[in-house]
Amino acid sequence: MKDIKRIIIPVDNTEDSKEAVKQGAFFAKLLGIDAKIITINDTHQFISSVVLEEKLKKEASAFLENFKKIAEDLGANIETQLIVGKPAEEIVKFAKDDDLIIIAHHDKSRGFDKVMEKSVSRDVVNNAPCSVLVIK
Protein backbone atom coordinates (compact mmCIF):
# COMPACT_ATOMS: atom_id res chain seq x y z
CA MET A 1 0.00 0.00 0.00
CA LYS A 2 1.27 3.47 -0.92
CA ASP A 3 1.87 6.11 1.70
CA ILE A 4 -0.84 8.75 1.75
CA LYS A 5 0.71 12.23 1.56
CA ARG A 6 -2.43 14.40 1.58
CA ILE A 7 -6.17 14.17 2.09
CA ILE A 8 -8.46 16.00 -0.31
CA ILE A 9 -11.98 16.77 0.88
CA PRO A 10 -14.24 18.05 -1.94
CA VAL A 11 -17.26 19.87 -0.50
CA ASP A 12 -20.40 21.77 -1.28
CA ASN A 13 -22.50 23.68 1.24
CA THR A 14 -24.35 20.68 2.72
CA GLU A 15 -24.51 18.74 5.97
CA ASP A 16 -23.18 15.69 4.10
CA SER A 17 -20.04 17.65 3.21
CA LYS A 18 -19.68 18.79 6.82
CA GLU A 19 -19.53 15.11 7.84
CA ALA A 20 -16.89 14.44 5.16
CA VAL A 21 -14.84 17.33 6.59
CA LYS A 22 -15.07 15.84 10.08
CA GLN A 23 -13.99 12.42 8.82
CA GLY A 24 -11.21 13.93 6.70
CA ALA A 25 -9.93 15.94 9.67
CA PHE A 26 -9.96 12.80 11.81
CA PHE A 27 -7.89 10.84 9.29
CA ALA A 28 -5.50 13.76 8.65
CA LYS A 29 -4.80 14.09 12.35
CA LEU A 30 -4.53 10.31 12.80
CA LEU A 31 -2.05 9.99 9.91
CA GLY A 32 -0.20 13.22 10.72
CA ILE A 33 -0.69 14.65 7.23
CA ASP A 34 -2.17 17.81 5.73
CA ALA A 35 -5.65 18.02 4.26
CA LYS A 36 -7.11 20.33 1.67
CA ILE A 37 -10.79 21.21 1.48
CA ILE A 38 -11.80 22.14 -2.06
CA THR A 39 -15.03 23.27 -3.64
CA ILE A 40 -15.76 23.50 -7.32
CA ASN A 41 -17.66 26.44 -8.79
CA ASP A 42 -19.44 25.19 -11.88
CA THR A 43 -21.89 28.09 -12.17
CA HIS A 44 -19.74 30.05 -14.65
CA GLN A 45 -21.11 27.95 -17.48
CA PHE A 46 -24.70 28.91 -16.59
CA ILE A 47 -24.41 32.47 -15.26
CA SER A 48 -23.42 35.51 -17.26
CA SER A 49 -23.83 38.01 -14.39
CA VAL A 50 -20.54 39.14 -12.84
CA VAL A 51 -22.41 40.40 -9.77
CA LEU A 52 -24.14 37.06 -9.19
CA GLU A 53 -20.90 35.18 -9.84
CA GLU A 54 -19.11 37.29 -7.20
CA LYS A 55 -21.95 36.68 -4.71
CA LEU A 56 -21.67 32.92 -5.22
CA LYS A 57 -17.88 33.10 -4.86
CA LYS A 58 -18.25 34.94 -1.53
CA GLU A 59 -20.76 32.34 -0.31
CA ALA A 60 -18.38 29.52 -1.27
CA SER A 61 -15.49 31.25 0.51
CA ALA A 62 -17.65 31.61 3.63
CA PHE A 63 -18.61 27.94 3.84
CA LEU A 64 -15.02 26.90 3.07
CA GLU A 65 -13.83 28.99 6.02
CA ASN A 66 -16.54 27.47 8.22
CA PHE A 67 -15.45 23.95 7.22
CA LYS A 68 -11.79 24.90 7.77
CA LYS A 69 -12.59 26.01 11.32
CA ILE A 70 -14.41 22.74 12.02
CA ALA A 71 -11.40 20.73 10.81
CA GLU A 72 -8.91 22.87 12.73
CA ASP A 73 -10.99 22.50 15.90
CA LEU A 74 -10.57 18.74 15.43
CA GLY A 75 -6.78 19.20 15.29
CA ALA A 76 -6.12 18.92 11.56
CA ASN A 77 -3.80 21.09 9.47
CA ILE A 78 -6.14 22.37 6.73
CA GLU A 79 -5.99 24.57 3.65
CA THR A 80 -8.90 25.51 1.38
CA GLN A 81 -9.21 26.22 -2.32
CA LEU A 82 -11.98 27.32 -4.68
CA ILE A 83 -11.65 25.83 -8.18
CA VAL A 84 -13.67 26.69 -11.29
CA GLY A 85 -14.89 23.92 -13.59
CA LYS A 86 -16.91 20.73 -13.68
CA PRO A 87 -16.87 19.11 -10.21
CA ALA A 88 -15.85 15.50 -10.89
CA GLU A 89 -13.33 16.45 -13.59
CA GLU A 90 -11.65 19.09 -11.45
CA ILE A 91 -11.46 16.82 -8.38
CA VAL A 92 -9.80 14.09 -10.43
CA LYS A 93 -7.38 16.59 -12.03
CA PHE A 94 -6.49 17.99 -8.60
CA ALA A 95 -5.70 14.57 -7.09
CA LYS A 96 -2.31 12.88 -7.19
CA ASP A 97 -1.71 9.15 -6.87
CA ASP A 98 -0.52 9.47 -3.25
CA ASP A 99 -3.65 11.34 -2.08
CA LEU A 100 -6.76 10.08 -0.35
CA ILE A 101 -10.03 11.70 -1.41
CA ILE A 102 -12.76 11.77 1.23
CA ILE A 103 -16.04 12.78 -0.40
CA ALA A 104 -19.68 12.86 0.65
CA HIS A 105 -22.30 11.02 -1.34
CA HIS A 106 -25.62 12.81 -1.52
CA ASP A 107 -28.40 10.23 -1.49
CA LYS A 108 -31.13 11.20 -3.90
CA SER A 109 -33.22 8.10 -3.51
CA ARG A 110 -36.50 9.32 -4.93
CA GLY A 111 -37.92 9.02 -8.43
CA PHE A 112 -36.84 11.50 -11.08
CA ASP A 113 -33.96 12.88 -9.00
CA LYS A 114 -32.37 9.44 -8.83
CA VAL A 115 -32.73 8.80 -12.55
CA MET A 116 -31.37 12.23 -13.56
CA GLU A 117 -28.60 12.58 -11.00
CA LYS A 118 -25.08 12.36 -12.31
CA SER A 119 -23.18 11.41 -9.20
CA VAL A 120 -19.99 13.36 -8.65
CA SER A 121 -18.82 10.86 -6.04
CA ARG A 122 -19.35 7.95 -8.44
CA ASP A 123 -17.40 9.71 -11.20
CA VAL A 124 -14.58 10.50 -8.78
CA VAL A 125 -14.41 6.87 -7.59
CA ASN A 126 -14.31 5.63 -11.18
CA ASN A 127 -11.66 8.09 -12.41
CA ALA A 128 -9.44 9.19 -9.52
CA PRO A 129 -5.75 8.23 -9.60
CA CYS A 130 -5.86 7.51 -5.86
CA SER A 131 -8.00 5.88 -3.19
CA VAL A 132 -11.42 7.38 -2.47
CA LEU A 133 -13.41 7.09 0.75
CA VAL A 134 -17.10 7.88 0.24
CA ILE A 135 -19.00 9.14 3.28
CA LYS A 136 -22.71 8.35 3.21
How many structural domains is the chain composed of? 1
Does residue 1 sit within a domain? no
CA distance 37 to 68: 7
Does residue 97 sit within a domain? yes
Beta-strand ranges (E) seen in 46-121 are 78-84, 99-104
Does residue 14 sit within a domain? yes
The string of pLDDT tens digits covering residues 98-126 is: 999 999 997 655 444 444 346 899 999 99
CA distance 118 to 1: 31
Q: How many residues does the chain have?
A: 136
The string of pLDDT tens digits covering residues 2-54 is: 799 999 999 999 999 999 999 999 999 999 999 999 999 887 655 567 777 78
Range of the domain at 16: 6-135
- Residues contacting 128, CB < 8 A, separation 6+: 91, 92, 95, 101
Which CATH number is 96's domain given? 3.40.50.620
